[in-house]
Amino acid sequence: LLSLAALAAQMRSVARRASQDELKKQVGFKAVDDYVKSGTVIGLGTGSTAAFAVERVGEKLKSGELKDIIAIPTSIRTKEQAEGLGIPLATLDTHSDLDVAIDGADEVDPALNLVKGGGGALFREKIVEMCAKKFIVIVDESKLCDGLGPGFPVPVEIVPFCHEHTMRQIAALPALAGCEPVLRLGNVANNQKDGDEPAITDNGNYIVDLKFTSPIKDPVAAGEQLKATVGVVDHGLFTGMTTACIVAGSDGIIVKE
């Protein structure tokens, strides 16, 4: 039997999650209302916040408020959600000029650089979002930070072949000094260990989560060094990509540009 204190703690945590979900919904809906126009090609992000934007696109297509949208999903999960809502889909192979892409993030620094990939979709997110004229990031205020790294491990997608070697190469990169690479196990969308086998991305690769105890001094250099490492497919440092970040908090919604 739960003690009264444990029950109260559980209820508080459910209430916190509900209010965080409400904030995610607000930014997801606002991004679509403000940035998605009829007759455009849009990128659909991945994760619990992006899912609200996908929901809103589906809702507005159904009501006729939006017409002639073509959407490029950034994961199998998002593709399935969008298909379920009747959103017309394509890939970058046929549509590589996007008007706007909307996605969540795990951390946002004051320069609007991001950590992404908590949901394991960083490669597809990056390749799609780099093709968008506008990249709109949607977060609740808990994602804002002073410096990337210590608050949320930086995910890196690597090929399975010789992955332990690649992890050692990553740990030795000068711009990532002090990081601890941890192979993600279990469900690819969850960076808390919840299985014994390596998590597999939509692209058939592994994810390594880089843990930091202090902020990454130069996220651009860190990203360049990761990208130049053989065995690395891509990384969750999204620098210089954000057009605007819509943030929801207890005081309302603000847009940072």
Q: How far apart are CA 236 and CA 105, in angstroms?
A: 10
With residue 61 as reference, give the H or E element that holds it.
helix 50-63
Marked catalytic residue, from 125, 129, 197, 257: 125
Closest distance to ligand 5RP from the beta carbon of 38 (Å): 25
CA-to-CA dists, residue 222 to 20, 43, 203, 249, angstroms: 31, 26, 23, 30
> Of the ranges 82-90, 121-129, 174-182, 218-226, which one interacts with ligand 5RP (CB under 6 A)?
121-129
Q: What's the one-letter identity of residue 130?
A: M
User: Cβ of 6: how many Cβ atoms within 10 Å?
Assistant: 10
Is the Cβ–Cβ distance between 237 and 113 less than 8 Å? yes
Q: Shortest Cβ distance from residue 7 to ligand 5RP (Å)?
A: 27
Has 59 been annotated as catalytic?
no
Choose between 109 and 125: whose C-beta lies nearer to ligand 5RP. Answer: 125
Q: Which amino acid is at 16?
A: R
Q: Does position 235 bind ligand 5RP by CB under 6 A?
A: no
The size of the interface with ligand 5RP (CB under 6 A), counted in residues, is: 18
Question: Of 43, 117, 149, 231, which one interacts with ligand 5RP (CB under 6 A)?
Answer: 117
Helices (H), 115-173: 122-129, 163-171
The site map against ligand 5RP for 88-107 (x = CB under 6 A) is ---------------xxxx-
Shortest spacing between CB 117 and ligand 5RP, in angstroms: 5
Taken as a whole, the chain contains a residue count of 257
Pair type for strands 41-44 and 98-103: parallel
Which residues ranging from 125 to 144 are in contact with ligand 5RP (CB under 6 A)?
A: 125
Positions marked active-site: 125
* Binding footprint of ligand 5RP on the chain (CB under 6 A): 45-50, 103-106, 116-122, 125
